[in-house]
Structure 1
Amino acid sequence: GVGWAEPLDPRLPPPDGEKLPLEALKALGFFLVPEAGVRHGIQGRGFRLVLDLPAGEAAAHLPLEGQGQGSLLLSFPYLAPGMLQVPWPKGLEARVRLLPKGTELFLSLPGRLLRYRLFPLKEPDRLVLDLFVLEAEVEEPVAAGVRYREIWAFTPEPLRLYLVEAEKGRLVPVGKPGVRALPKDLAPNALAVLNGGYFDPKTATPIGLWVQDGVTVSYPSGRMALLWDGFSFFLGVPRFEAMVQGPSGERVRVGINTSRARYTAHTVPGTVGREGEEVALVMGNRVQAIFPAPQELPPGAWALAFPKEAPPFPLRPGDSLSLYGRLDPPFRYALEAGPLLVQKGQYAFDPNRENFRDKRPLEAIAPQAAVAWTREGKLWLVVSEPTTPGVLARALLTLGAWNALRMDGGGSAQLWVKGRLRNPYQGSPRPVVSALALYAP
């Protein structure tokens, strides 16, 4: 056929061989969509691209997010020639195509995970692209039904998690009160070891409930605990019945630590007892002395607090005094930590509901450790890169956690797999008192 076109406006740039300049294409009506300005910058650990839309051109986009292994292809319903001049993150290859119905952006960086979030903003109207260039995810078999993973969760900022996922196995609390060691050395033959609960840094005395093969190693301190038999796990503030046995064999029920009663046994180092009480200091099963309260509890001792001059039975230094306890209902294993992060698929982080007097460690950005499991029964032993417990809770929810409990964090947060520390750690790993060891079934 035969066709013709009006001559180009002489004020426009001349063609470059067979290529028409952008302004000429605009003048010819080649583009069918409005033009948007382009801005860019760093946003957190991501790269942000902003399309400034023409007045009255509200972004019709719903929020979108996605990711690609090594590459991404994105389309924008606007003419955005400014993308041609954007200094993209180092190593990232970007190809921009200006098409009649919009701008096409292809991004490539082999070996990396490219994650994006696209969303509109108003006043003024903008379309925002947040781009994250991330280390690739990792998945390695450990044993039958057990695998090690390094994955990203988005809340919406990316958070890298180091976790062991087990469909079956045998989980056991390991360690010894008063003795510190690296988690891997507490269970040298385990498939994986995660650091456990809290302990007094001066004395290595465990803080909180610890039950080993049905035997109470440490007593509750009023926080959430992991309770389990076999491969069935539960979370709760345990109901714990404690009693003391006096010199003549008589027994009386007592409160324990923060669960106070008329008679209260204290097992956590620190100041115990209140004004108007007396404290029987016990080493082993022998009363060492009786002091007016409050009194400092030394390492390796426990104490019975009672109203002044009103012990549950006659007591004097040298008398035998024993402390017993049991879980109701009984569990073979228990380890207290906290706070609760996720409960029945819902965000549950609220340290005010548990016995955390100093909440500063729970507000600091630091590595976090957690035990979690899915509704289908897959167990997760998790350590995160530095974040807060609340962010970790949301991250675990996005991955499908049904229940989750924070373990000791900061420098104690360690995940060892077959003797190798898998989460990044600055300096020498910190010895701990307790840990959770996963063995083959």
Structure 2
Amino acid sequence: MLDGTEMLAVWTLPHFGVSVRNDPLDLRLVLGPRELQYTPGQGWRALGFAWTGTLPPPMTEGVSLYVPLQALRVLGLQIRADTSGLLDVAAPASIPAETLPPSEDRSLAQNTAAQNTPAQNQPTRPATSPSSPETLPVPEVRPGGAGSRTALPSTPPTSASIQPIPTLPAPAPPPLLSTPPVSAPPASTVPTPPLPGLSKGPNLDTVRVSRTQYRTVEVMRVVLELSAPASPVISRQTGGIGVVLPGFSVQGSTQNLPGGAGLTLTPTPAGASIRLTTRTGRSEVFTLDDPFRVVIDTTTYLDANVPPPVNPDALPDGVTYRDRGLLHLLSFDPALFQPRVVSAPLGRSLSVLELVKSVSGVAGVNGGYFDPASSLPVDLVAVGGLMTAGSLEKRATVGFTAGGQALFGFPRPRYVLSGPFGSVTVNSVRATPNTTLLTAFVCDGKTSVGGTGLTTLLLAPGSASVSRAVTGPIIAPARTLAFTFDPARFPSLPRAAGAPLTVTLNWQATDAPWNSAVDALSAGPLLVQAGRVVIDPRREGFNTATGVWRPTRQSALGTFDGQPTIAYFDYGTPEAFAAALAAAGVRDAVRMDSGSSATAYLRGGYGGLGAYMNTVWSRPVPNAIVFVPRTVTGKK
């Protein structure tokens, strides 16, 4: 009794042969040709039969949705009380018995205890714990997390229109409307005579539908609750998908779903046939065992002008996402991922997504300042132990060791040439020579180095001697080190192949173990150090009156709980960004850039669309910090 009205939990109704759409905003009860629908504000109405009465509205009690017992009488069920005071429900003569789901016990007390006592000749259904998160009611069902799923192909099969999908383990979906069983006498004390004519086969009991929108990505979930395990057979069809449950019975029906989709249930000789019409979404089908369910998730990208968001329930192993309001953090287990600096070809910019894919990475953030007209970086870039762009020697820098340790500080790296002549420090890193300087360049196989009257020494990385000495312009193989100079100004340097010569990268840093760095990017400002806000624009030569300091979106690379972490700030000044990072517990962080360059990308997302922490598309960039799985880098 609820408020003086006899009520039944919606989740119990399939035991009495009633098919249910368990949606508080559009509740439907179907038995044979009769259907009752309840919509808030409109009340109950009958479909498929004449009825002009009134019924109390559904009620929510604890974690369950309840309907008035009188609704079952309106549908035609016979309800009576036996001598023990327990309800007994039987099918009316006007409704064929084969339309009811299989059951050996029509007693309410026995059916509510059936979570723990399987009916005779039926598969055991695992008990549902009242404290399980799957029993909590929510109006919208959030898509499930990463797990073993079988994704439908993006194009129709060429050899067969129907392909079987094995029953796969997968994580439980988010909370669905249900309820714990009511107390009842032990099963042995309740008579369980089978009703004549009832089907003994497995049945599709209930269909539940939810629709949730994340930014401009819509996820629709259809849950088929079953009385027994199933091995669904699926097929890609025009405008949707088909699912067949071999050997299962189902009450035929057609429903219009939220968002313009449609669902048709049809009994066939092969089993229960489900036809889901969708728009242009991508569908995934998977099975769950507690209780038995087939779940169809359909992801639709509604507006490609807005980046798809991160799906926090489907992150790669070793990746942690934290949402702190305006601040978003994406941390990576250094045992599983190696942070690397990845560059586009010289003079080009690429999207962060493209830079991530170029090295089979899992995530990336834009890195460093650059000239938009030429796509050339304006500060330090070091990749794989080679400095490809020189340092301004005043801006905060983030670097990485081969072991994945992140370094933060203010190094002033320079190439140093050593040999019998002693040592000489390189003045500039660029392809275009300067007759007054010793210029270094990491060749790309396309760009000319050297010049008329100048000598260029070519060396392989790690080599101890000159591989080639050239006078005049030359295009050298990629990753060849080239050093160009005027012999009159640097008479001590060698001028012939085979001459002893070693090259080292001197980081000239005292605030971190930079000599072990293999990759580095300078950007700035340094936002947080040792958990404290340390932002100082004067130290790093930033003009706070220019756009580089305006309130806008911001990106950074830092450490959180000992893990390298991408940070993204939706909107604010660098000072606000730094304060949010420190408040969240970030230990160290360097800003990478802001405004239209700020991008934070993660592989995966809803429906495999990819995921972005930024809510607007950003422009291409010449460099990014990318997290690469260590199996890809060849390290264990």
Task: Return the TM-score normalized by structure 1.
Answer: 0.52
Give the whole-Å Cα distance in 2 for the aligned partners of 1:388 and 1:198: 17
The answer as to 2:558 corresponding to 1:390 is no
Q: Secondary structure at the match of 1:217?
A: strand
Aligned with 1:349: secondary structure?
coil
Query: Corresponding residue for 1:201?
Result: 372
Q: Secondary structure at the match of 2:580?
A: helix
**CA shift in 2, pair 1:178/1:208, >3 Å:** same
Query: Within 5 Å, which residues of 2 pair with 1:348-427?
Result: 348-356=534-542, 360-374=546-560, 376-418=561-603, 420-426=610-616
The residue that corresponds to 2:338 in the other structure is 170
Judging changes above 3 Å, is the alpha-carbon distance between structure 1 residues 323 and 351 closer, same or farther for their aligned structure 2 residues? farther
Q: Look up the equivalent residue of 1:437 and give its one-letter code.
A: V
Is 2:428 the partner of 1:265? Answer: yes
**Contact 1:252/1:312, CA 8 A, preserved across alignment:** no
| 1:179 equivalent among 348, 353, 356 | 348
The answer (yes or no) to whether the contact 1:163–1:382 under 8 Å persists in 2 is yes
Q: Report what 1:104 is aligned to.
A: none
Counterpart residue number, 1:146: 319
Q: 1:289 to 1:199 in 2, by over 3 A?
A: farther
Could you tell me how far 1:288 is from its partner in structure 2? 4.6
CA distance in 2, matches of 1:323, 1:305: 16
Does 2:622 match 1:433?
yes
2:490 counterpart residue number? 312
Q: Is the 8 A contact 2:368 2:623 kept in 1?
A: yes
The 2-side partners of 1:323 and 1:285 are apart by: 20
The 1:285/1:422 distance shift into structure 2, 3 A limit, reads: closer
Structure holding more strand per residue: 1
CA contact (8 A) 2:531 2:586 kept: yes
Residues 162 and 170 (structure 1), Cα distance of their counterparts in 2 relative to 1, 3 Å cut: same
Task: Determine if contact 1:166/1:378 at 8 Å carries over to the other structure.
Answer: yes
Greater alpha carbon shift after TM alignment, 386-395 vs 228-237:
228-237
Moved more, 191-200 or 235-244: 235-244
Partner residue of 2:399?
A: 227
- CA gap of 1:252–1:197, structure 2 versus 1, over 3 A, is same
* Distance in 2 of aligned mates of 1:175 and 1:242: 20
What's the CA shift for 1:220?
Answer: 1.4
The alignment covers a number of residue pairs equal to 275
Percent of paired sites with the same residue: 24
Q: CA deviation at 1:249?
A: 9.7
Q: What's the counterpart of residue 331 of structure 1?
A: 517
- Could you tell me whether the CA contact under 8 Å between 1:221 and 1:355 is conserved in 2? no
Paired residues of 1:195 and 1:432 also in contact (CA < 8 A): yes
Alignment correspondent of 1:287: 451
Alignment of 1:161 with 2:330, yes or no, is: no
| Matched residue SS, 1:401 | coil
Alpha-carbon distance in 2 for matches of 1:205, 1:249: 35
CA distance in structure 1 between the partners assigned to 2:565 and 2:439 by the alignment: 41
Larger C-alpha radius of gyration, 1 or 2?
Answer: 2
Q: Which residue in the other structure is 1:298 paired with?
A: none
- Residue 162 and residue 194 in structure 1: after superposition, are their counterparts in 2 closer, same or farther (change >3 A)? same
Aligned pairs for 1:231-270 (under 5 A) are 231-243=404-416, 253-254=424-425, 264-265=427-428, 267=430
- Residue 173 and residue 165 in structure 1: after superposition, are their counterparts in 2 closer, same or farther (change >3 A)? same
Q: Over aligned residues, Cα RMSD in angstroms?
A: 4.4
Cα displacement (A) at 1:145? 1.9
Normalising by structure 2, we get a TM-score of 0.37
The secondary structure found in structure 2 opposite 1:149 is strand
Residue 402 of structure 1 and its aligned partner are, at CA, apart by 0.8
SS of alignment partner, residue 575 of structure 2:
helix
Secondary structure of the 1:397 match is helix
- Structure 1 gaps of 5+ residues are 1-69, 71-110, 112-136, 153-159, 256-263, 291-301, 316-321
Q: Give the CA deviation at 1:228.
A: 1.6
* Cα pair distance change 1:345/1:162, threshold 3 Å: closer
Distance across 1 between alignment mates of 2:555 and 2:328: 9
Q: Distance in 1 between matches of 2:502 and 2:448?
A: 10
Change (3 A) 1:289 1:412: farther
Unpaired runs of 5+ in structure 2?
A: 1-137, 139-212, 214-309, 441-446, 455-481, 494-500, 508-514, 605-609, 631-636
**Following the alignment from structure 1 to structure 2, what is the Cα–Cα distance between the partners of residues 421 and 431?**
16
Taking structure 1 as reference, are residues 313 and 425 closer, same or farther at Cα in structure 2, changes over 3 Å only? farther
